A and B are shown apart, each in its own frame.
Chain A
Amino acid sequence: MGSKYYDIDAILTDAQKIPCTFEVDVPGLGYLDGNDNADMKAGTKLELPIWLAEILAVSEQLGTETFISTNLPHALSAPVMNALKANPLSVNLRDLATHYYALGERMVNLVEDAEDELVDTLSKTFTQRTIEIADHAVNPKGALGEGSEFLMGLEESERQIFRAAHDTAKAMKGWRTEKK
């Protein structure tokens, strides 16, 4: 899998925050929770960006205890999963997380025993929504037409798929009508 060090979307994905719990007291780390010169108490619950949480969650200290434990963010919580299973087209993914599927991929590695269900639901959701996206891109129903709400809720990779399908349809139409 190609590493994406310079990929802007990969960097923005890692900026998304997830709920964490500190398992250990850490002097001088209060600033992570907004109080600058305090210490970080074990048991504190806070949100940390993925680029930080994913390393702290796997760095052991004594024995098998890690510095923090992580839980699924609201965007991947059970109620959202149920809504996606019920009708994937009705959920505004952009409000939940701009890089929604990428967030899902990162969390699959971080949270045990969630991955089977998470992967299943996300892959079904992604497939069904991208088919709808392609339809909209090929025969647009006008800006305020039916489905525009769906399009407003597309997360970042879905937007890029819409643009790819839309631009290709436009290029095809342009080629067919231009003088050969």
Chain B
Amino acid sequence: MDAMDISDILREFDAENAPSNSKDYEDLLKWWVNERAAPEILQYQDDLVERIMNRVRRQIEHIEDQTGNLDPRANFQLIIIQTELERVKFLIRSYLRTRIAKIDKHALHILSTPTLRHLLSPSEQTYLKTHQALLNELYLSSFLKNFPENLRRLDDSAGGISMVEEPDLDSAVFLRVVRDVDIEIAWEGGETVPMRAGDVYVIRYSAVKEAVKKGEVELI
């Protein structure tokens, strides 16, 4: 069967129109690693995740239509599609759970800072509020209900230390430079580090926070 069969030709025809799916996948990889490495919660990549999830759903439907088709050739292609599908599902799963872990760690800080709350997806905001309510209920029922009224707050900072845990934005992060950028270091009395594409640095996150969001550097 030397001539390509019709379905191949048709499929090749529409292969041109979607070069963006490789870019979407690369972007998701980038934002997954950025989220893993950054000490604070970053902007939820709503459109990106939605586009990829649409393709995930389309693949699942395609697999379901094809199953029971015992032609080994189609069967083998399905196996490749499923293999890739598992990879993409892992990526989305790890991305979402990385965010949930950060939301749990700095819940009150995010709740009390509108600019941070807007970085969360609607379902993440629901998770955050519900989880905080459950924790408050656990503390109250376990011991806090026996405390005097004025000692039951979970967000005050009397006694020398704030109860609201914030991320340490000065934590060291590892990054690779994407586009040349000069990074201003506040703690060195205003020294500037000329970062060139391809360079690798360990530096405080606070110094490169904006550069990460602009994509000038990528965390690793």
Q: Are A55 and B166 in contact (CB under 8 A)?
A: no
Chain B hits for A2, CB < 8 A = 39, 165-169
Q: Are B160 and A4 in contact (CB under 8 A)?
A: no
Q: Are A3 and B170 in contact (CB under 8 A)?
A: no
Q: Are A3 and B161 in contact (CB under 8 A)?
A: yes
Chain A hits for B166, CB < 8 A = 2-3
Q: Are B165 and A54 in contact (CB under 8 A)?
A: no
Chain A, residues 61-101, CB within 8 Å of chain B (1/0): the string is: 00000000000000000000000000000000000000000
Q: Are A54 and B170 in contact (CB under 8 A)?
A: no
Chain B, residues 152-166, CB within 8 Å of chain A (1/0): the string is: 000001011111111
Interface centre among B161, B163, B167, B169 (most CB of A within 10 A): B161
**Closest Cβ neighbor of A5 among chain B residues:** B163
Complex: A4 Cα to B165 Cα, angstroms: 6
**Closest Cβ neighbor of B164 among chain A residues:** A3
Residue A1 CB within 8 A of the other chain: yes
Shortest CB-to-CB span from A134 to chain B, Å, is: 14
Chain A, residues 1-32, CB within 8 Å of chain B (1/0): the string is: 11111110000000000000000000000000
Complex: A6 Cα to B159 Cα, angstroms: 14
Per DSSP, chain B at the interface is loop
Q: Are B160 and A55 in contact (CB under 8 A)?
A: yes
Q: Are B165 and A5 in contact (CB under 8 A)?
A: yes
Chain B: interface residue total (CB-CB under 8 A): 14
**Closest Cβ neighbor of B166 among chain A residues:** A2
Chain A hits for B39, CB < 8 A = 2
**Closest Cβ neighbor of A14 among chain B residues:** B161
Shortest CB-to-CB span from A7 to chain B, Å, is: 8
Shortest CB-to-CB span from A15 to chain B, Å, is: 14
Complex: A6 Cα to B155 Cα, angstroms: 12
A5 CB contact (under 8 Å) in B161, B167, B168: B161
**Closest Cβ neighbor of A10 among chain B residues:** B161
Complex: A17 Cα to B163 Cα, angstroms: 23
Shortest CB-to-CB span from B39 to chain A, Å, is: 8
Q: Are A54 and B167 in contact (CB under 8 A)?
A: no
Q: Are B170 and A1 in contact (CB under 8 A)?
A: yes
Shortest CB-to-CB span from A116 to chain B, Å, is: 18
Shortest CB-to-CB span from B159 to chain A, Å, is: 8
Known pairs A3-B164, A4-B165, A5-B165. 15 more at Cβ < 8 A?
A1-B168, A1-B170, A2-B166, A2-B167, A2-B168, A3-B161, A3-B163, A4-B161, A5-B162, A5-B163, A5-B164, A6-B165, A51-B160, A54-B160, A55-B159
Would you give 10 A-B contacts (Cβ < 8 Å), ordered by A? A1-B168, A2-B166, A2-B168, A3-B164, A3-B165, A4-B161, A5-B162, A5-B163, A7-B165, A51-B160
Pairs of residues from A and B, 3 with the lowest C-beta to C-beta distance, nearest first: A2-B168, A3-B162, A2-B166
